[in-house]
Amino acid sequence: MKFSYTLLKQYLPELKNKQQLIDALNMHAFETEDADGKTIDVFLPPNRYSDAASHIGIAREIAAILKHRRTNIPNISYRLTKQRIPQAFKVLVEDKKLCPRYCAQLFENVRVKQSPVWMQKILKENGLRSVNNVVDVINYVMLETGQPLHAFDADKLTDSRIVVRSAERREKITSIEGIEYVLTPETLIIADGKQPIAIAGIKGGTDTEVTKNTKRILVEAANFDGVSIYKTAKRLHLDTDASQRFSHNMHPELARIGLARAAVVLQDVVGAHPSELYDTAPKKSVMRTFSFDINWFNSFIGTNMRARDAYASLRRLGFGVNGNKISIPLLRQDIETQEDLAEEIARLSGYNELVSQPPIVHLSPPEHDNWFPFRRMVRDILSGLGFDEVYNTSFVGSGDTSLVELANPISEEKRYLRGNLAYSLLENIRENLKYYDEVRLFEVGHVFSKKEEYRMLGIAIGTTQNDYFFELKGVVTSLLQGLGLTDFDFMVQEDDGAAVTVRVDGKHIGELRRLDDRRSIVELHMDVLREVVSGELSYEPFPKYPAVMRDISFLVPPQARIGDIVQAMQLVNEHLIQDIDLVDEYTGADADRQSITVRIRFRADDHTLNTAEVDVEMERVVVLLQNSFGAEIR
């Protein structure tokens, strides 16, 4: 925001030069840059527009920082008298939420002419052009106080009425620059008894513009809802000084302050005579009060400041001090907690004056989260198997009573939290099969129930030609083996084999389903799978003695489960049989038998096994297979 060094110098005669002002603000208040000529650019935080988006506010900051005793900052005062309904004009505010306060005052004996040179200079330094003495005073007072104002030609107001209302659909207004705007019901306007005369908080209309023939003016000082003004300005592509200020939710008391200052300057510069005044919220706001503890402050900031020095800093910033009770200035909307008060004292003293001290904190070792490397392992394996990863939204449009319904959904298509990954994956399959003969997808994502949220892995294959159900089963096998798992099995749930349960270490981790001849999907519980993998990936020292590998092929009835066979074989000698891997599984034309080949790894911890020892154990395995599973050794 631009500020005039000329005007600030008038307020603060002790200022040495512009650089001193810039340095003071940079070190103690706001980021400030030097602009051309007599202009500076101050970057205000959004919560300081009520008190600091004005030359008076900035001057007070500088005076407090530099401890100036002699200032010419205007002292704006006004009396709140009993409210009387004005006779010369009427004000009606239809929506008090969008317009919490509306002040208007009539001025007579107005003589419109060119404004003084000193005022034109100050306006120019702030990037504003001079129009006439009335309009220039209105803009000048906005620069002084931060409150946007507007002057209407009182004799052009139909029925001498001011109505603050929402625009009617397709209602139009022509701005002072001659641009026509088509309004919507979301736009707040100022109207007279006939038509819109201003877009509230943004721009005035040409119908009530002040001209050289104007004799009476009605000055508006109002407070508008920041969100409404912001949306209207963006919708109309109309960005003005007033809209920027109102968009930051300025304090309602500022309207009365701005009008009081306008009355003084209009009398001095224009020679106008103040007349009737109307205020929709005539009661003055009450100042907030906080308790302040100097011991807490020193502990919080890390200083050893005396209480009287802290209170002196607050007084220079305009705070009231009564014992340990601190009264907050009305326009300081940014002060909400005791920590905010501490910040005010610390910045005024200077952050560079604070002694750097290492913090005293309790250090704890970081917790290792193996979720991310585990997810990366899963992605790498499935990508290597030719699958593409997809990211779907967690919201779905339809569901049963088991799904979690959102209290405030963004649309009907996103009313529920998904209870599985299958819904979105199958939709992806359906859309992509329009362009490809085969689609292989997977997703790692969160699913939700009414009790908990958990992570799932969904893998789906869709095709226009073949049935890939058994290939998907092989994909799951490759995934589990790639994760280092060996103790897993598949359990058929339905007679037609269309649903198969996947178990690892006896734990249910998911389900493989054939939806039809063209689509198959599996969903695995990632949290359970990660626990199993974490248990499998324990540290073991490198073996000192070599392993002996033996393969064995046999035929067993089709109802025999491979998982049960492998588990029984490992129990033959838990000390010497280190691992058993499935090498081949085949079911041919003879549906009464299935052929299985496994590889057994033998190893002893204390010596190298010889052939005789391994032969003994192999004989025991053969006997087990024949007696327990009816196997025929090939």
What CATH number is associated with residue 116? Answer: 3.50.40.10
Q: What is the pLDDT of residue 44?
A: 95
Q: What is the mean pLDDT of residues 396-415?
A: 83
At which residue do the structure tokens 């649903």 appear? Answer: 499
Rounded-to-integer distance, Cα 217 and Cα 209, Å: 10
Q: Which residue would you say has higher pLDDT here, 536 or 92?
A: 92
Do 306 and 451 lie in one domain? The reply is no
| pLDDT above 90 as % of the chain | 66
The one-letter amino acid code at 404 reads V
In this prediction, residue 242 has a pLDDT band, given cuts at 50, 70 and 90, of: very high
Q: For residue 188, what are its two tokens?
A: 């707040």
Q: What is the pLDDT of residue 486?
A: 82
Kindly report, residue by residue over 297-330, the tens digit of the pLDDT.
998 998 899 999 999 999 999 999 999 999 999 9
- Flag whether 284 is in a domain: no
Q: Which residue would you say has higher pLDDT here, 579 or 6?
A: 6
At which residue do the structure tokens 């008190």 appear? Answer: 51
Helices 55-66 and 18-28: angle between axes, nearest 10 degrees: 80
Q: What is the mean pLDDT of residues 231-256?
A: 94
SS3 state at 579: strand
Rounded-to-integer distance, Cα 418 and Cα 400, Å: 11
Rounded-to-integer distance, Cα 157 and Cα 90, Å: 10
- CA 102 to chain CA mean position, Å: 34
Q: Which of 279, 298, 314 is the last residue of a domain?
A: 279
Q: For residue 185, what are its two tokens?
A: 């019901």
Q: Which residue would you say has higher pLDDT here, 470 or 199?
A: 199
Residues in CB range of 431: below 8 A, 6 or more apart: none
Q: Which of 501, 534, 567 is the last residue of a domain?
A: 534
Q: What is the mean pLDDT of residues 340-359?
A: 88
Q: What is the pLDDT of residue 625?
A: 92
User: Does residue 448 surpass a pLDDT of 80?
Assistant: yes
Q: Is 568 exposed, middle or buried (0-12, 13-18, 19+ CB in 10 A)?
A: middle
Do 171 and 55 lie in one domain? The reply is no
Contact at 8 Å (CB) between 343 and 337?
no
| pLDDT above 70 as % of the chain | 97
Q: What is the pLDDT of residue 498?
A: 74
Rounded-to-integer distance, Cα 278 and Cα 77, Å: 17
User: Does residue 354 surpass a pLDDT of 90?
Assistant: no
- Flag whether 81 is in a domain: no
- Flag whether 230 is in a domain: yes
Q: What is the pLDDT of residue 283?
A: 79
- Select, from the ranges 135-149, 413-427, 505-519, 553-567, the one with the highest average predicted confidence (pLDDT): 135-149
Q: What is the pLDDT of residue 372?
A: 86
User: Does residue 535 surpass a pLDDT of 70?
Assistant: no
User: Does residue 616 surpass a pLDDT of 90?
Assistant: yes
Q: What is the mean pLDDT of residues 336-362?
A: 88
Lowest mean pLDDT among 78-82, 392-396, 430-434: 78-82
What CATH number is associated with residue 590? Answer: 3.30.70.380
Do 199 and 98 lie in one domain? The reply is yes
- Flag whether 530 is in a domain: yes
Rounded-to-integer distance, Cα 341 and Cα 291, Å: 10
Residues in CB range of 110: below 8 A, 6 or more apart: 134, 214, 215, 216, 217, 270, 271, 272
Domains in the chain, number:
5
- Flag whether 348 is in a domain: yes
Rounded-to-integer distance, Cα 339 and Cα 587, Å: 76
Rounded-to-integer distance, Cα 15 and Cα 473, Å: 82
- Flag whether 463 is in a domain: yes
In this prediction, residue 39 has a pLDDT band, given cuts at 50, 70 and 90, of: very high
The closest alpha carbon to 624, from 556, 568, 564, 554, belongs to: 568
What CATH number is associated with residue 22? Answer: 3.30.56.10
Q: Which of 353, 387, 405 is the last residue of a domain?
A: 353
Do 508 and 622 lie in one domain? The reply is no
In this prediction, residue 494 has a pLDDT band, given cuts at 50, 70 and 90, of: low
In this prediction, residue 246 has a pLDDT band, given cuts at 50, 70 and 90, of: very high
Rounded-to-integer distance, Cα 629 and Cα 23, Å: 90
Residues in CB range of 348: below 8 A, 6 or more apart: 28, 64, 65, 313, 316, 317
- Flag whether 510 is in a domain: yes
Q: What is the mean pLDDT of residues 74-92?
A: 85
Rounded-to-integer distance, Cα 482 and Cα 476, Å: 10
Do 479 and 602 lie in one domain? The reply is no
User: Does residue 530 surpass a pLDDT of 80?
Assistant: yes
Strand partners, 339: none
Q: What is the pLDDT of residue 248?
A: 94
Residue 434: other Cβ atoms inside 10 A: 8
Do 272 and 324 lie in one domain? The reply is no
The closest alpha carbon to 196, from 164, 173, 217, belongs to: 173
Residue 34's domain comprises: 2-66
- Select, from the ranges 364-368, 370-374, 489-493, 553-557, the one with the highest average predicted confidence (pLDDT): 553-557
Helices 371-384 and 469-482: angle between axes, nearest 10 degrees: 140
User: Does residue 488 surpass a pLDDT of 90?
Assistant: no
Contact at 8 Å (CB) between 14 and 24?
no
Do 253 and 297 lie in one domain? The reply is no
Do 266 and 233 lie in one domain? The reply is yes
In this prediction, residue 495 has a pLDDT band, given cuts at 50, 70 and 90, of: low
Do 559 and 413 lie in one domain? The reply is no
Q: What is the mean pLDDT of residues 477-491?
A: 87
Q: What is the mean pLDDT of residues 162-181?
A: 93
- Flag whether 78 is in a domain: no
Do 520 and 569 lie in one domain? The reply is no
SS3 state at 388: strand
Rounded-to-integer distance, Cα 182 and Cα 169, Å: 8
Query: What secondary structure letter does DSSP report for 205?
Result: B
Do 440 and 314 lie in one domain? The reply is no
Rounded-to-integer distance, Cα 74 and Cα 62, Å: 15
- Select, from the ranges 134-143, 531-540, 577-586, the one with the highest average predicted confidence (pLDDT): 134-143
In this prediction, residue 11 has a pLDDT band, given cuts at 50, 70 and 90, of: very high
Mean model confidence pLDDT for the chain: 90
Contact at 8 Å (CB) between 399 and 419?
yes
User: Does residue 586 surpass a pLDDT of 90?
Assistant: no
Strand partners, 460: 441, 521
Do 578 and 524 lie in one domain? The reply is no
In this prediction, residue 536 has a pLDDT band, given cuts at 50, 70 and 90, of: low
Whole-model pTM above 0.75? Answer: no
Q: What is the mean pLDDT of residues 618-622?
A: 94
